[in-house]
Chain A
Amino acid sequence: DAKTTQPPSMDCAEGRAANLPCNHSTISGNEYVYWYRQIHSQGPQYIIHGLKNNETNEMASLIITEDRKSSTLILPHATLRDTAVYYCIVRFRLVGSARQLTFGSGTQLTVLP
């Protein structure tokens, strides 16, 4: 699976959009970009994933550059409960199967009141 690079920490004001970047310059054509987060003392939680098109769900939006070498996770209106470590993970996705997740060090997002 391709390696990812994320900033170690970011701050965001409550109510503002949080934009978390991720570089994955060695991504291959069949690899997806996944985002998980881990709120303190909880297990990791799936947020969103995408291949090349931008994606949006009830939690966040995912913007993937045209060359797919980087992406941005957007939390449109961050709340204090969004304070967590956010992990950008690149891996193959096989329907009907599931490979292990490779967590890096992630980005510690702190939402400030």
Chain B
Amino acid sequence: EAGVTQFPSHSVIEKGQTVTLRCDPISGHDNLYWYRRVMGKEIKFLLHFVKESKQDESGMPNNRFLAERTGGTYSTLKVQPAELEDSGVYFCASSPLRDRKNTEAFFGQGTRLTVV
């Protein structure tokens, strides 16, 4: 079974540019989460999708960040325009919606974003 896949693995962009991160969850997982760890800080929650709907976006830092999950499959996280403080590792995770055995989250390898 394929795990959570994130693209790209690394991205280096200049301040002011736009970057789009992609996450492919485990097939059949309706819950999809974005987290990030910025330099020297703890891993922080950004938002949670249930299928194509945003369940909780309380962790989104500002309106430069836009997450979408059209069709309820893969998700994208766009940063526009990118700032230096956006540098860090962005993680995606997914979990099944109704699974009494295991509702734990499976994480991808992350996308390392560097804004210069």
Contacts and interface: CB of A to CB of B under 8 A. Distances in A.
Interface of A: 34, 38, 41-46, 49, 93-98, 100-105
A101 B105 contact: yes
Contacts of A42: 109-110
25 contacts: A34-B104, A38-B43, A41-B109, A43-B91, A44-B43, A44-B93, A44-B105, A44-B107, A45-B107, A46-B104, A46-B105, A93-B103, A94-B103, A95-B98, A96-B97, A96-B98, A96-B103, A98-B31, A98-B103, A98-B105, A100-B45, A101-B35, A101-B105, A103-B35, A103-B42
Size band of the interface chain B makes with A: 20 to 34
Given A43-B110, A98-B31, A49 B104 contact: yes
Given A95-B103, A101-B45, A103-B44, 10 more contacts: A34-B104, A43-B107, A43-B110, A44-B107, A93-B103, A96-B97, A98-B95, A100-B33, A101-B105, A102-B45
Interface string B30-49: 01010100000011110010
Interface in B35-67: 35, 42-45, 48, 56, 59
Interface in B3-40: 4, 31, 33, 35
B88 interface: no
Contacts of B93: 43-44
